[in-house]
Amino acid sequence: MERSPERQSKKKVVAVVGGGLVGALNACFFAKRGFDVEVFETREDIRQAKIVKGRSINLALSHRGRQALKHVGMEEKIVSQGIPMHARMIHSLSGKQSPIPYGKKGQYILSVDRANLNKELLTEAETYPNTKLNFDHKLQDWSAETGLMTFVRPDGSTEDFQADLIVGCDGAFSAIRKQFLRRSRFNYSQTYIPHGYMELTMPPINGEFAMKPNYLHIWPRNTFMMIALPNMDKTFTCTLFMPFEEFEKITTGDEVIEFFQRYFPDTIPLIGADALRRDYFRLPAQAMVSVKCSPYHIGGTCVLMGDAAHAVVPFYGQGMNAGFEDCIVFDEIMDQFNEDFSAVLQEYTRVRVPDDHAIADLAMYNYIEMRAHVNSKWFLFKKYVDNLLHFLMPRTIVPLYTMVTFTRTRYHEAVERWHWQNKVINRGLLFSAAGAVLGGSYMLIKNPPDINKLVTPAEKMWDRLVALRTP
Ligand code: FAD
Ligand code: EGU
């Protein structure tokens, strides 16, 4: 069957492929501009579906994502359905919990339900009369030459569609991107990390959250790590990150309990030993992939956005936020270039690639760093030093996560600034060390001390350092 847009309006037709988070939001952006928007999504309408299968249950929404939602008038609604997280809560092996604020009072990130966010965005897109949602439409193939797309329906039949602009928002394994790969001078790299992830649910206890709700809970254990985000139904979703190799070593319920006893003992009574034995084997661990490519467009007919353009590992909580910011950046360029698709797409690639690549690199860097040597003490120490330096020199030193999470500083500029700050900090350390040595030697020569009074045991130093921490 051939279906082409036979509308009265001479407005151009935009096909958004993928009705996930970025696709649904993008539909709103294009509809707001008055285009005829057709969204094509493989899955059935998740608003009617009984069970929604898919990745991670909740996500951290921060400034960039919120700004994008604001552009389509959705910020307040989504924020009101999320749970503010004002700080991280670091769980040590002994079960001690230490909060570290994300920023000043009133600075926080939000835990939002992925399925709910997706549903709200689809419903919002549908309020525009110039938008049509086509569920149960899986893009099978398309031609970069003619722009003709072929979709498969659940009954096996196919349907063709042609649009003036194709926007590929079909996720990390994008079918739209496949045609880019066949072209000359297209750069592409994908990396699977050795870690997998598994989600476990922590139910409410006596009708209340099992842990403090307004925190992002973290159990940093070098190679093993767990993170928990609160949900509106008073549960927590715990995400366990560990090498596939290690997942595979655990084959019985007893081994699960032994493993948790050793690394996450405080969570056993909260998740429940029986639930843990059961849920651990419910689904296999999921893989994580990092994808970088460029350019993001073909001529004036097709552009990639969201995970289709840049899948990042989740170790900065930025995948969705970056994808949402893609939509703002594109929208701004549409204004600058008068909706001339060829010019807009070229400029979009020019402006956005360096930033998306920067966040992909940062997320990968953080993954490597966390797995190499981040236990709870190191995590506390690093964030404490970050916050202290920022407090002492608020204009000179801004922590990297602050620029990434709470501003719209271009990602690549945040990285440049971070490198510069590190230089300043290292110089500062070098000067104070040199100063201390010179000054100290002078003092020692002048008045030799009683050595026993001078030495502070390492643990004491540590306790002092930790005591300085903001509560
Ligand atoms: P997707 O959400 O993957 O949506 C793609 C859509 O396209 C899907 O609906 C799919 O069905 C559809 N589709 C696919 N192929 C076709 C086809 N051939 N035809 C038609 N439709 C198709 N990000 C954050 O910002 N904060 C976080 O805290 C965070 N935590 C994360 C934790 C984990 C464990 C993981 C794995 C990711 C996390 N992310 C986070 C990243 C975030 O999930 C993604 O960046 C985001 O979902 C990308 O949205 P998208 O719309 O581009 O892709
Ligand atoms: C991972 C999985 C703490 C949700 C990075 C911080 C994440 C999230 C951090 C997941 C970490 C790591 C930051 C935020 C956020 C921290 C951040 C990571 C949400 C550097 C649902 N990360 N995440 N950094 O600073 O900037 O608290 O699955 F453990 S939110 Cl890995 Cl801000």
Element (H, E) at 287: strand 286-294
- The token duo for 98 is 């230490």
Q: Is the distance from CB of 246 to CB of 225 less than 8 angstroms?
A: no
Nearest in space to 385 (alpha carbons), one of 318, 316, 470: 470
114, 59 contact by CB (below 8 A)? yes
| pLDDT at res. 398 | 93
Q: What is the pLDDT of residue 167?
A: 98
pTM: 0.91
Return the C-alpha torsion angle 253, 254, 259, 262, nearest 10: 150
For residue 404, the ligand 2 atom closest to its alpha carbon is 26
Helix (H) or strand (E) holding 134: strand 131-134
Q: Give the phi and the psi of residue 192 in degrees, each rounded to 5.
A: -90, 130
**Which atom of ligand 1 is nearest to 59's Cα?**
28
Amino acid at the residue 54: G
Helix (H, G, I), strand (E, B) or coil at 138: strand
User: What is the tens place of the pLDDT at every residue in 62-85?
Assistant: 999 999 999 999 999 999 999 999
DSSP percent split of the chain into helix, strand, coil, nearest 5: 45, 25, 30
Measured CA to CA, the distance from residue 294 to residue 316 in angstroms comes to 22
Which residue from 111, 401, 402 has its CB within 8 A of the most atoms of ligand 2, so it is best to mutate?
401
Q: What does the alpha-carbon distance between residue 344 and residue 336 come to, in Å, rounded to a whole number?
A: 8
Find the 23 Cα to ligand 2 centroid distance in Å.
24
What are the structural domain ranges in the chain?
Answer: 13-365, 377-445
Q: Which of 227, 221, 261 is nearest to 370 (CA)?
A: 221
State residue 2's pLDDT score: 46
Please check whether residue 217 is in contact with residue 99, taking contact to mean a CB–CB distance below 8 angstroms.
no
Cβ burial, residue 384 (10 Å; 0-12/13-18/19+) = middle
Positions of the chain with pLDDT under 70:
1-9, 52-56, 444, 449-471
Mean of the per-residue pLDDT values of the chain: 92
| Nearest residue by C-alpha to atom 30 in ligand 2 | 317
- Quick one: how far is CA 270 from the chain centroid? 26
Coil vs helix vs strand at 136: coil
* Residue of 86, 111, 216 to mutate, ligand 2, most atoms within 8 A of C-beta: 216
Residues with CB under 6 A from ligand 1: 17-23, 40-43, 55-56, 59-60, 138-139, 169-171, 175, 197, 239, 288, 306-308, 314, 317-321, 323
For 375-431, the pLDDT digits (tens) are: 888 888 888 888 888 988 888 899 999 999 999 999 999 999 999 998 888 887 778
Question: What residue type is assigned to position 40 of the chain?
Answer: F
Q: Residues 342, 350: contact at Cβ < 8 Å?
A: no
Instruction: Report CA(316)–ligand 2 centroid distance (Å).
Output: 5
CA of 105 to the centre of ligand 2 (A): 19
* Residue of 57, 315, 321 with the most ligand 2 atoms within 8 Å of its CB, for mutation: 315
Nearest CA to ligand 2 atom 15: 317
CA-based torsion, 242, 368, 324, 154: positive or negative: negative
Q: What DSSP element (H or E) covers 203?
A: none
Tokens of residue 387, six digits: 């916050």
- Compute the distance between CA of residue 277 and CA of residue 282 in angstroms, rounded to an integer: 9
Q: Which residues line ligand 2 (CB under 6 A)?
A: 56, 59-60, 88, 109, 216, 218, 227, 229, 239, 314-317, 366, 370, 401, 404-405
What distance in Å separates the CA atoms of residue 362 and residue 442, rounded to the nearest whole number? 44
Query: What is the best residue among 56, 110, 316 to mutate for testing ligand 2's pocket, by most ligand atoms within 8 Å of CB?
Result: 316
Query: Does the domain at residues 13-365 carry the CATH identifier 3.50.50.60?
Result: yes
Whole-number Å distance between alpha carbons of 142 and 161: 9
DSSP structure class, residue 379? H
